[in-house]
Amino acid sequence: MMIWIGLAGTLGAILRYSLGRWISGKLGTAIPWGTWIINISGSLLLGLLYGWHQSEMISDGLWVVWGTGFCGAYTTFSTFGYETIQLLTMKRYLSAILYVVSSVLLGVAAAFAGVWITA
């Protein structure tokens, strides 16, 4: 099981890095759009996985591999914190506040939506 979690985590980390760079290249870096989009989409995916697991559409093993392994590596709280500190250091207070508030609210809403979709 640990190997599968590690492989899913590797896939999540590679996708996060690649997608984050691609998004930043397309949308710029004034706001950390890459991390923002990745964390919200990862919250949606985790909500879907949770809903499927609760309705017994996926096994405990798949829930752990994809929920913990993939989503755990795909989403990133540490980068979110670091980017928030960067915005504050650059005295971009409004951007930092919008980044934090929208990340938290939309992340929770996305997770809820994922669970709701599977109900």
Annotated binding site: 72, 75
Q: Which residues are annotated as a binding site for Na(+)?
A: 72, 75
CA nearest neighbour of 68 among 45, 51, 52: 45
User: What would the two tokens of residue 43 be?
Assistant: 């919250």
Q: Is 28 in a helix, a strand, or coil?
A: coil
- Report the alpha-carbon distance of residue 66 to residue 110 in Å, rounded: 17
Helices marked H in the chain: 2-27, 33-54, 60-62, 71-74, 77-89, 93-118
Where residue 76 falls (left for φ over 0; alpha for ψ -120 to 50; beta otherwise) is: beta
